[in-house]
Structure formats: structure tokens, C-alpha cells
Structure 1
Amino acid sequence: MPTLIVLIGPTGVGKTELSLRIAEHFQTHIISSDSRQLYADLKIGTAAPTPEQLQRVPHHLVGTLQLTDYYNAAQYEQEVMTLLNDLFKQHDVVLLTGGSMMYVDAVCKGIDDIPTVDAETRELMLKRYETEGLERLCAELKLLDPEHYKIVDLKNYKRVVHALEICYMTGKTYTSFRTQQKKKRPFKIIKIGLTRDRAELYDRINRRVDVMMEEGLLDEAKAVYPYRQLNSLNTVGYKEMFKYLDGEWELPFAIDKIKQNSRIYSRKQMTWFKRDEEIQWFHPEQEAEILDYLQKSI
């Protein structure tokens, strides 16, 4: 049976290099499950694969979108399923890697059939956001759906508002629509999770942000600044640089906030991944053990 290896873990843990080595070992392709690496103009801030890395192993769904393109997890699921259908004709094993939790779940479990929000509810919640503010709505989500509150990006008003829209419109939690029956897939899935000691991970995240700044994150943020209101740029790294470009923050403070928000995001990722009992956890340096586990599991 064809096998999809899913390599996941928090931001900065070391997925990229290991994914290349695993793909080289199995002589296969990599599909990205990073929702921001899809955008061609966000190379530095998303730590997208370099030209050299793209030469080592064929990659899919990296740099395929423009900032103004609308894209969601349901489209991603459809695109990856079509892609896998083609790739499995030539390869017994394909590797999916990235840290976007919903995108990984979309491929492994399928997207839940979440109801479409009616115009009245949408308008009401938008007005409440404008008059009461995001903090108030976050507190309400914590009461109505504490499980989703733990994992949602509380600074992304669209996600908070959408979860509340579902709560009010259906009388059920948003979480209840995200735990529906798993779709059957015509391939085997093996999940490998990468983890590090918290202090070690945080140090790597901090150093990675410094490297991004050296590589030109500020210039990249300046180039996309005119599009700053787009959802594709509601992303750690760019949001903080925009605050600096607006004159609200000093540059050293903005850099510190990128580090802090990246660390917070890594904790959210781990909270999400830890719920999945199918993931086999390793330290990124346990390459031999990971390959041995994969060989035995395939």
C-alpha cells in the first residue's frame, strides 16, 4: 500500500533538514503543509526551502500563490489528494511536512463539514468586534468553547469571530464540528513528530529570527507592506515588522516581539499535536532511529 510519511513539529524544531534527508533516503518528493510557504513573496519570513534545497528534493505547494489569492484548508485538502494520486503512481512513499496544524489534519483526517455562516450572524459578530474589541470576544470564546480557545490564534480576529459565529448560529461549539468522523484514505499514514527541550527550542527560535533579519526580512516586509491588510500577511514576522514600519515600535522591540510570538505559536502547535495519539515522537537528531522506525512501519 502507498505510504504518506507526515513529519510535523513546532516552528524552529528542525523539520526542513530532516525532511530532505528522509526524502533522499526514500528517493521521493516533499509536499509542504505550511500555509504561508504557499505564498511566493514570503520566502524569508516563512523559512521557505532555499533554491539549493529545492534542487536536492522536488517540492510541491511552495511559492505557488500570490498574496491576493484566496486559499483555505479545504482547497489544500483537494489539491494534495490530487497530487498524491499522481505521485503514488511513481513512488511508494511520499513525504508531507510542515507546521500548519489544520493543513496536516485536512490531509490526514479530512475537512469537517462546518456550516456556512448566514449573513445576519456574520454582520452581528462583525459589529460586536468593532464595538467591543477582540479581547472581549476572546473571553467569550473561552467560556463558550474552551477547547478551541486553547488552540486558536487569539490575535487573529477572523478566526475568533468565525468560531463565535458557529457557536451562536448552531448552539454548538466550534470544536464539535472539528471532531467529526475521519475520512478513509487510500494510503497508509505514518506520523513522525519532532520535539526538543523547551529551552533548546526557544534558543533555536530566537536564533532563527536573527538569521531572518540578516537575510533581509525587513526588506521583504517593506515589499509586501502595501498588502498588509490581507489575511496572508496576518502572520508572525510580518505583523511585527509592519508595526515598526508604521512607526509604532522601535526595530529591536519588533524583533523581540517576533521571537516572543514565535515561541507562543510553537506552544500552540505542540498543544494541537499532543492530542494526536498516532504521532511517534523523536528528537530531530535521532535520524537513524526515525529511519529504522519508518522502515519497519512501511
Structure 2
Amino acid sequence: MMSGTDKYNTLVVVTGATASGKTALAIELAEHFNTEIISADSRQLYRDIPIGTAAPTECERSRVFHHLVGCLGLEDYYSAALFETDALAILKEIYKKSRVAVVCGGSMMYIDALCRGIDEMPTVSEPVRAYVLRLLNENGPVSVLAQLQILDPVYYEEVDKANMRRVVHAVEICLEAGMPYSQLRTGNIKERDFNIIKFAIEWPREELFARINSRVDMMMNLGLEDEARRALAKGSFNSLNTVGYKEMAAYFRDDMTRDEAIARIAKNTRVYAKKQLTWLKRDSDVIWLSPVDAFDRACSVIERKTASASSHN
């Protein structure tokens, strides 16, 4: 495997908080470098929820080919480990045509899985998945958390207990492996045979929150309510255990008014954005871009680094 300055291909990662402008920048960069985009969004994978996940539109996808968007049914299982495998396979094909590939998304575990690698985990069998899903649906998050506390008290203390997708996954792995999830995580970084450049667009906090509020209003105008009704009518899938659909579900149950649900979507999206920013601030490899000249600055960095890589080959 190549290392250091011997690496010839480049992976451009466009990440950042929700509503920060990732998709627009990624498309501009992919057009400029005549390449394709791999989505690193754990919800845009699902084909029936494009509005609530802010998936690239048909127009945007006609400009640049997007991988891993709208390719799964709501009932389908997916994980960071599967993303790592799929994305690496897609990159091999992209690099046959272009020296640059673009990854775009705000699912930080997916970004880390591709850039740093992920520990080998057992494949979760259907009976285990069905058991944990039934536990969640019939007895609620508290029961799944209690199960995790018994199976893996170490991971229970560190996991974000509001992130039920992560909690559910940990319980599934514990049950499948017959040992604590925390013992399977080594944290070792895998060597990649391509250069990695990470970008994120940095907005003043209040401006980012205003963009989030505007996006939620736009989603409602585009038909998020009807989309959520159709999706939730199909079943209680883990793919719908996310901001937008959880609040709409509460509205449909008459647990809150429509206006309350919309306000809660905006609030929970802002909370999610804060978590994304906290994660990103810990990554010293991220190059922060101003919204004013994000494309020009990113191009400059990419061209300089790819030219440097070429000169060593």
C-alpha cells in the first residue's frame, strides 16, 4: 500500500454542520474536477424521505453523479461499517476516471469510517435485529438503555443516550458477539492509499441557526408533513428514528400541535448541529472555510496538494 507523498489520488471530504452549505460546495468542486460524489449521510440513503433529509435534488444529481443516495428501502439496515466497505469500492471505480473524488455529508461516524477505518464487527443477524427493534418499539428507549447498561456498562457511560441509533447498534453488537461492544473497539487508524483533504464551512453560530430555521420552513413548504405520513405509515423503522420524522410522528399522535412539532424540529436540528460542530472541532485535519470564498479557497488547497502529490510520482 502506498504511503506519504507516494499517494496519487485525493479524497476531498466536504463535511460540516447541517444547513452549512455542504451540498452546494461539493457539487461545485465535483464539477470543477470532473468527478463524482459519494454521500456520507446516514439518512439520505433511504429513497422515501428526500425532503426531511435534504437529499440532493434531481437537478443537483443531474449535474453530478451522486452515490449512496436514495438507494435503500426504509426497512433496510445500514451501518458505518457497511459504508466503509461500499465507499472504498466506489472510490476504486472513481479513481479509474479521475484523480479526485468528493465525499459529502454530516454523518461523522461515516466520515471517520472512510478516513480512519472502523473496527471489524460481527454482522448483525436478522433475529437479533428484530429482537432489539421489538424491545425499542414495545418498551421504549429506556428498556434498550437498560439492556446496554447490563451488556456493556463501560460503553453505557460514554454513549450519547439520546442517540438511540447508536445505542441500538451497540446492543445488537453485544448480543451478536457475545461480548461487550467496548471490547471490540480498538481505535486503530487504517492506512489509506489516497490523500485526504477535509473541508467544513464555518458560519457564525446565529447565522447557522437562522439557516437551519429557514431550512425547516422550506421543508414544510416542500411537503415534509405528507412525506412523513407516507413513510411512517409503512412501519416503525430505525431509518425514521431521526429529527423531522420523530416530531411529525408526535404531531400525528396528537402529542403536540403542528406548530409545536415544527418548532421542535428546528430546535432538535440546532442541537444536532452543535453536536456535529463539537465533533469537528476535535479533528485538527479539518480546514475551515468562510462561506464568502469557500469554493475558491477549497480549489486552491486541492490543486496545491494534488500538484505536490504529482511531483513525487
Q: Is the shorter-chain TM-score for this pair beyond 0.5, marking a shared fold?
A: yes
2:209 maps to what in 1?
202
1:291 aligned residue: 299
Distance apart, 1:294 and its partner CA: 1.7
CA contact (8 A) 1:202 1:263 kept: yes
CA distance in structure 2 between the partners assigned to 1:236 and 1:132 by the alignment: 16
Give the equivalent residue in structure 2 for 1:133.
Answer: 142
Seen in structure 2, the aligned counterparts of structure 1 residues 148 and 114 have a Cα distance that, compared at 3 Å, is farther
Paired amino acid for 1:295: E
Compute the TM-score of the two structures, normalised by the length of structure 1: 0.85
Identify which of 251, 255, 272 aligns with 2:258: 251
Partner AA of 1:293 in structure 2: V
- For residues 181 and 170 of structure 1, the distance between their equivalents in structure 2, rounded to whole angstroms, comes to 19
Secondary structure of the 2:28 match is helix
Deviation at 1:277, TM superposition (A): 1.4
Aligned to 1:22: 29
Contact 2:20 2:201 in 1 (8 A): yes
Question: Given the superposition, is the C-alpha separation of residues 139 and 164 from structure 1 closer, same or farther in structure 2, using an over 3 Å criterion?
Answer: closer
User: How much identity, in percent, do the aligned residues show?
Assistant: 43
The answer to whether the 8 Å contact 2:135/2:143 transfers is no
Q: What's 2:53 paired with? A: 46
State the shift of 1:74 in Å: 1.4
C-alpha change, 1:22 and 1:161, in structure 2 (3 Å) is: closer
2:93 is the alignment partner of 1:57: no
2:37 touches 2:64 (CA, 8 Å); kept in 1? yes
Please give the alpha-carbon distance, in whole angstroms, between the structure 2 residues aligned to 1:240 and 1:32.
25
The CA deviation at 1:79 is: 1.0
Judging changes above 3 Å, is the alpha-carbon distance between structure 1 residues 148 and 278 closer, same or farther for their aligned structure 2 residues?
farther
**Displacement of 1:140:** 6.6
TM-score (norm. length: structure 2): 0.82
Residues 258 and 8 of structure 1, relative CA distance in 2, 3 Å threshold: same
**CA positional deviation for 1:162:** 5.0
| Separation of aligned partners in 1, 2:246 and 2:234 | 11
Select the residue among 105, 110, 113 that pairs with 2:117: 110
The equivalent residue for 1:73 is: 80
Structure 2 equivalent of residue 31 of structure 1: 38
Gap regions ≥5 residues in structure 1? none
User: 276, 289, 297: which one pairs with 1:269?
Assistant: 276
Say if 2:50 is the partner of 1:11. Answer: no
1:8–1:193 contact (8 Å) kept in structure 2: yes
Q: CA deviation at 1:55?
A: 1.0
Secondary structure, counterpart of 2:38 in structure 1 = strand
Shift of residue 113, structure 1, vs aligned partner: 2.7
CA separation in 1, counterparts of 2:286 and 2:65? 25
Describe the SS at the equivalent of 1:4.
strand
- Tell me, in whole angstroms, the C-alpha distance in 2 between the residues paired with 1:147 and 1:97: 31
Gaps of 5+ in 2: 1-7, 307-313
CA contact (8 A) 1:77 1:107 kept: yes
Q: Structure 2 matches for 1:101-250, cutoff 5 A?
A: 101-114=108-121, 130=139, 133=142, 144-145=154-155, 148-149=158-159, 152=160, 154-156=162-164, 158-160=165-167, 162-163=169-170, 174=182, 177-178=184-185, 180-250=187-257
Aligned-residue offset at 1:284: 2.8
Q: CA contact under 8 A between 1:117 and 1:166: conserved in structure 2? A: yes
The whole-number CA distance in structure 1 between the counterparts of 2:33 and 2:47 is 27
Q: Which amino acid aligns with 1:290?
A: A
Structure 1 CA distance for aligned equivalents of residues 141 and 266 of structure 2: 29
Q: Secondary structure at the match of 1:133?
A: helix
The 2-side partners of 1:115 and 1:9 are apart by 30
